[in-house]
Chain A
Amino acid sequence: MPFFQNCSGGFKSKSTDLYSTAGESSEILNGKAIYQQKCAACHGAIESSTKLGRSANQISAAVQNISQMSMFAGSLSAEDMNLIAKALNANAPAQGVKFACVDPNDTGVSQILRLDKDQYINSLTDIFGTAIVNSLAVQLGGLSNDDTRIGSIAMTTITDDQISAYMDVAMAIAQAVTASDSQTSNVFGACALATTPTSACVDTYLTGKAVKILRRPLTSDEMTEARTVVNGSGTYRSNLAKILASHLQSPSFLLRMELGTGNEDTPVFNLTPYEVASRISYATTDSTPDDTLLAAAKNNKLVSTADIDAQVRRLFATARGKAKIHSMFRNWLLQLAGVDTAGLPAGLTAGIELKGLSDAIMSETDQFIDYIVFEKNLGYKDLLTSKVSFASHAGLASIYGHAPLNGSYVPGAQTAQFDGRRQGLLMRASYLVAPKSRTNLVSRGVRFRRQVMCQDLPDPDAAAVAARNTLEPTEAEAQLLTSRQYITQMTNSAVCLSCHSKINPTGFAFENFDPLGRIRTSEQIYNSSGTYLRSLAVDSSAAVPTFDDQTLNVPDAYDLVSQVAGSQDGPACFARQTLRYFNQRQEGQKDACVLNSIFSNLTKANASIMDAFVASVANSVTGVRRKGN
Chain B
Amino acid sequence: MKKRQINRRQFLQGVGGTMFTLPPLLSMLPFSAHAAPVGTVKRVILCPTLYGIDPADFFPKTPAANLQTKFANAKDVDVYSTPLSSFSTAGNLSVSLQAAFNDPVLRAKTNIYEGLDVTNGGQIVSHTYGSLAGTAKSAVPSLDSGRGPKFGESIDNTISKSPNFYSSTPQIPVLRISSCNDGTMWSFDRLNGEAQYKNFFMGDTAAFNKVFANVMPGTPAPSGPDPSKVYILDRILASLTGLQSSKRISAADKQLLDRYVTGVHSLQKSVNTNQQTAPACSKPSLSLQVTKSGNPWAFPGEINGTSWGVKSSNTMMNNLNDIIVNAFLCDITRVVVFGNALWQDAPVSNYTAGAQFHSHDDGTGGPLTTAEKHAWFLNFIASLAKKLDAIPDPLSSGGSLLDNSVILFTSEHGGVKSHSVFSIPTLTIGSAGGYFKTGYYVDCRQRPYTKDAYHESIGRPNKQLLISIMQAMGLQAGEYMSNGDGKGFGDFEITALGNTYSKFVNSHNDPLPFIKA
Given contacts A141-B291, A257-B243, contact A343 B352 (CB under 8 A): yes
Q: How far does the alpha carbon of A496 sit from the alpha carbon of B334 in the complex, in Å?
A: 45
Contacts of A629 in B (CB 8 A): 250-251
Which A residues touch B251, using CB under 8 A? 628-629
Q: Which B residues are in CB contact (< 8 Å) with A242?
A: 228, 231-232
Q: How far, in Å, is B305 (CB) from chain A's closest CB?
A: 11
In the complex, whether B301 has a CB less than 8 A from a CB of chain A is yes
Question: A498 contacts the other chain (Cβ, under 8 Å)?
Answer: no
Complex-state Cα separation, A265 to B246, whole angstroms: 10
Q: Quick one: CB contact mask for A233-266 with B, threshold 8 Å, 1 for yes?
A: 0000010011001100111100101111000110
Chain B residues lying within 8 Å of A143, measured Cβ to Cβ, are: 199
- Tell me whether A246 and B191 are in contact in the complex, defined as CB-CB below 8 angstroms, given that A138-B210, A340-B307, A436-B357 are known contacts: no
B353 engages A158 (CB within 8 Å): no
Q: Which residue of A lies closest to B201 (CB)?
A: A141
On whether the beta carbons of B199 and A465 are closer than 8 Å, the reply is no
Q: Is the CB of B146 within 8 A of A460?
A: yes
Whether A466 lies near B199 (C-beta < 8 A) is no
A132 within 8 A of B: no
Q: How far is the CB of A114 from chain B (nearest CB, A)?
A: 7
- B174-192 CB contacts (< 8 Å) to partner A: 184, 191-192
A163 and B126 in contact, given A112-B256, A157-B259 (Cβ under 8 angstroms): no
Give 1 or 0 for each of A145-157: 1 = CB within 8 Å of chain B CB. Answer: 0000000010011
CA distance A461 to B231 in the complex (A): 49
B327-359 to A contact mask, C-beta < 8 Å, 1/0: 000000000000000000000000111100110
Q: Select A436's contact among B145, B351, B354, beta carbons within 8 Å.
A: B354
A164 and B267 in contact (CB under 8 A), knowing A141-B209, A340-B295, A462-B137?
A: yes
> Which of chain B's residues has its CB closest to A141's CB?
B206
Q: Which of A4-12, A31-39, A469-477, A611-619 contacts B (4 or more CB under 8 A)?
A: A469-477
> Do A459 and B141 form a contact, CB below 8 Å, given A158-B256, A259-B249, A469-B418?
yes
B247: Cβ under 8 A from any A Cβ: yes
Contact of A528 among B295, B367, B418 (CB under 8 A): B367
B250 touches A627 (CB 8 A): yes
Band of interface residues on B: 35 or more
Which A residues are in CB contact (< 8 Å) with B353?
343, 436-437, 528, 530
Residues of A within 8 A of B166 (CB): none
Against B, the Cβ 8 Å flags (1 = close, 0 = not) of A586-618 are 000000000000000000000000000000000
Asked if B263 and A138 make an inter-chain contact with CB atoms under 8 angstroms apart, the answer reads no
Given known pairs A112-B256, A250-B236, the reply for A458 and B250 (CB within 8 Å) is no
What CA separation (Å) do A563 and B240 show in the bound complex? 52
In the complex, which of the residues A109, A157, A458 contacts B141, with contact meaning CB atoms closer than 8 Å? A458
Output the nearest chain B residue to A261 by Cβ-Cβ distance.
B248
B240: contacting residue among A141, A251, A460, A627, CB under 8 A: A251
Interchain CB contact under 8 A, A627 and B301:
no
Q: Within 8 Å of chain A (Cβ to Cβ): is B447? A: no
Asked whether B252 is an interface residue with its Cβ less than 8 Å from the other chain, the reply is yes
B109 at the A interface (CB under 8 A): no
| A263-315 with Cβ < 8 A to chain B | 264-265, 269
Please measure, in the bound complex, the distance between the C-alpha atom of A565 and the C-alpha atom of B300, giving whole angstroms.
39
Residue total for A at the interface (Cβ-Cβ under 8 A): 71
Q: Once the chains bind, are A142 and B125 in contact (CB under 8 Å)?
A: no
Task: Flag if A627 contacts B253 (CB, 8 Å).
Answer: yes
* Residue in A111, A114, A251, A460 whose beta carbon sits within 8 Å of that of B243 in the complex: A251
CB neighbours (8 Å) of B71 from chain A are: none
Please indicate the chain B residues that have their CB under 8 angstroms from the CB of A265 in the complex.
Answer: 247
**In the complex the two chains form, what is the Cα distance from A250 to B196 in whole Å?**
22
Docked-complex contact A475 and B366, CB < 8 angstroms: yes
- A160 interface hit (Cβ, 8 Å): yes
Residues in B whose Cβ lies below 8 Å from that of A337: 295
A167-B253 Cα distance, complex, nearest whole Å? 22
Q: How far is the CA of A143 from the CA of B210 in the complex (A)?
A: 11
Q: Mark A432-467, 1 if CB is under 8 A from B, else 0.
A: 001111000000000000000000001111110110
A156–B270 CA distance with the chains assembled, in angstroms: 24
Complexed CA–CA distance, A165 and B199 (Å) = 10
Instruction: From A249, A475, A530, give the contact of B365 (CB < 8 A).
Output: A475
- Scan A178-208; emit 1 where CB is below 8 A from any B CB, else 0: 0000000000000000000000000000000
Q: How far is the CA of A340 from the CA of B299 in the complex (A)?
A: 8
Instruction: Please tell me if the beta carbons of B209 and A138 are within 8 angstroms of each other in the complex.
Output: yes
Q: Is B198 close to A, CB under 8 A? A: yes
**Which residue of A has the minimal Cβ distance to B243?**
A251
- With A163-B263, A627-B249 known as contacts, the answer to whether A469 contacts B239 (CB < 8 A) is no
B419 to A, closest residue via Cβ: A465
Given the contacts A114-B256, A474-B365, A463 and B123 also touching, CB distance less than 8 Å: yes
Q: Tell me the bound Cα distance from A539 to B384 in angstroms.
A: 53
Measured CA separation A341–B352 after assembly (Å): 10
What's the nearest-Cβ distance from chain A to residue B225, in Å? 13
The answer, yes or no, to whether A413 is at the interface (CB within 8 Å) is no
**Interface members, chain A 87-124 (any B CB < 8 Å):** 109, 111-112, 114
User: With A and B bound together, what is the CA distance between A529 and B297 in angstroms?
Assistant: 18
B136: nearest residue on chain A (CB-CB)? A462
Given contacts A144-B184, A157-B196, contact A163 B298 (CB under 8 A): no
What CA separation (Å) do A588 and B194 show in the bound complex? 23
Q: Which of B13-57 contact A (CB under 8 A)?
A: none
| Docked-complex contact A157 and B191, CB < 8 angstroms | yes
Contact yes or no, A528 B146, CB < 8 A = no
A434 to B353, CA, bound (A): 12
Partner of A167, one of B146, B229, B256: B229
In the bound assembly, the distance between CA atoms of A462 and B127 in angstroms comes to 9
User: Residues of A contacting B233 with CB < 8 Å?
Assistant: 167, 249
Cβ B199 vs Cβ A530 within 8 A? no
Distance from B351 Cβ to chain A, minimum over Cβ atoms (Å):
8
Q: What separation, in Å, do the CA atoms of A541 and B466 have in the docked complex? A: 53
Interface check A342, CB cutoff 8 A: yes
Using CB atoms, name the residue of chain A closest to B366. Answer: A528
Q: Are A466 and B124 in contact (CB under 8 A)?
A: yes
CB distance from B303 to the nearest CB of A (A): 15
**8 Å CB contacts to A: which residues of B275-297?**
291, 295, 297
Whether the Cβ atoms of B248 and A269 lie closer than 8 Å is yes
Instruction: Give the contacting residue for B253; candidates A112, A162, A264; CB below 8 A.
Output: A112
Judge if A350 is at the interface, Cβ distance under 8 Å.
Answer: no
Structural contact, B228 and A340, CB atoms closer than 8 A = no
A529 touches which of B205, B354, B367 (Cβ 8 Å):
B367
B487 within 8 A of A: no
B434 within 8 A of A: no
Give, as a whole number of angstroms, the nearest-CB distance from B100 to chain A.
27
Contacts of A549 in B (CB 8 A): none
Q: How far is the CA of A528 from the CA of B368 in the complex (A)?
A: 10
**Quick one: which of B185-236 are within 8 Å of A by CB?**
191-192, 194, 196-201, 205-206, 209-210, 213, 228-229, 231-233, 235-236
Contact B210 A142 (CB under 8 A): yes
A279 CA / B282 CA spacing, docked (Å) = 47
Q: Mark B240-273, 1 if CB is under 8 A from A, else 0.
A: 1001001111111101110110111011001000
Report the minimum CB–CB distance from A148 to chain B (whole Å): 15
Decide if A530 touches B249 in the complex (CB within 8 Å): no
Tell me, yes or no, whether B488 is within 8 Å of chain A by CB: no
Contact between B199 and A112, CB atoms less than 8 A apart: no
A466 touches which one: B145, B255, B419 (CB < 8 A)? B419
Contact of B236 among A238, A251, A469 (CB under 8 A): A251
A67 at the interface (CB under 8 A from B): no
Q: Does B142 contact A (CB under 8 A)?
A: yes
* Residue contact A159 to B196, C-beta cutoff 8 Å: yes
| Besides A225-B235, A528-B367, 16 other A-B contacts (C-beta < 8 A) | A156-B256, A157-B256, A158-B256, A159-B198, A160-B263, A250-B235, A251-B243, A258-B248, A342-B352, A436-B353, A437-B353, A460-B141, A461-B126, A461-B141, A528-B353, A529-B351
Could you show 10 A-B contacts with beta carbons less than 8 Å apart?
A141-B206, A142-B199, A156-B255, A159-B199, A167-B232, A249-B233, A251-B257, A269-B248, A340-B295, A459-B142
Q: Which 3 A-B pairs have the closest CB atoms?
A: A475-B365, A436-B354, A628-B250
